[in-house]
Amino acid sequence: MTRLNGRTGEVFLEDFDIGIVESVGAELIEIELDGELAPEYAIRFDGVTGPIENPPGYSGMTPVVFQEPEDVFQGGYLPHLVISRSDITPDLIRWFPGGHEYRIPASVAEMVTSPTTGAVGPTMVEMKQWTLPFNLQYDLHLRGKRRFDVDRMFRQVVKRLGGFPYGQVFVKDSEGDIRGYHAFLETASKLDEVVEIGDRTLGHTLSVRVEAELDFTDPYLVKTVTGIDVSVFTRARGLNGGA
């Protein structure tokens, strides 16, 4: 999105991590940990009651945890939604080589008038290269004790992402603007762990591919042409016989 001042914000991995968490319907709440209040993401699933054995503050909501696959999650917090990011793959089909995303007068520039044409312009401009396209792979692990619960969680998450086969993930950039990116539901796998009936864990894993973009370069300043030397053109005409 281009703002009224012509500048577009920047986005990177953490922006998409937060974006997918909030796009499935999670919100920041305060829970009590070790006697202190701490911000945590949680989601309210229709017809599903959050974990009983948890710090006070969830109020029936289900905890949402963002983590890498190798980390260990506390098994007592059921039901829960765990989101992990895996592959980061360049998407060259969406790549725009060369050019720039925007070109606007720099904040430190002075406005000058050309003595030859009368045109008014800045002495310096701010430019930004195109944001690079990447596909981000996310795995959403839905776990609970009852099949009824995890199936309802599965339905609500897919619905919030926009349905099948693709939906959208909404991301806030560095300028505070909200952007929408295509999100493709690629697989839905069974996630059941049944050791004993009383100690079973049921669930689903949803694999979602987000057509994202990442900024690796900062905006930069470039000086502009502030005037034209008329004598150069006069001498050139003389060399060409006045043509």
Q: List pLDDT tens digits, range 84-134.
A: 999 999 999 999 888 888 888 887 877 888 777 777 888 888 888 899 999
With cut-offs at 50, 70 and 90, classify the pLDDT of residue 73: very low
Q: Alpha-carbon distance 101 to 96, whole Å? A: 10
- Candidate from 49-53, 116-120, 225-229 with smallest mean pLDDT: 225-229
Domains of the chain with bracketed CATH? 13-104+127-217 (3.30.2000.40)
Do residues 189 and 78 lie in contact, with contact meaning Cβ atoms separated by under 8 Å? no
Task: List, for residues 1-20, the tens digit of each pLDDT value.
Answer: 445 567 789 999 999 999 99
Q: Alpha-carbon distance 162 to 132, whole Å? A: 25
Do residues 161 and 181 lie in contact, with contact meaning Cβ atoms separated by under 8 Å? no
Q: Answer whether residue 71 shows pLDDT above 60.
A: no
Q: Mean pLDDT, the chain, as a whole number?
A: 82
The predicted structure's pLDDT at residue 137: 97
Quick one: 243 exposed, middle or buried, by C-beta within 10 A (0-12, 13-18, 19+)?
exposed
Asked if the bond preceding 165 is cis, omega within 30° of 0, the reply is yes
Q: Alpha-carbon distance 80 to 61, whole Å? A: 9
pTM of the predicted protein model:
0.80
Q: Alpha-carbon distance 222 to 220, whole Å? A: 7
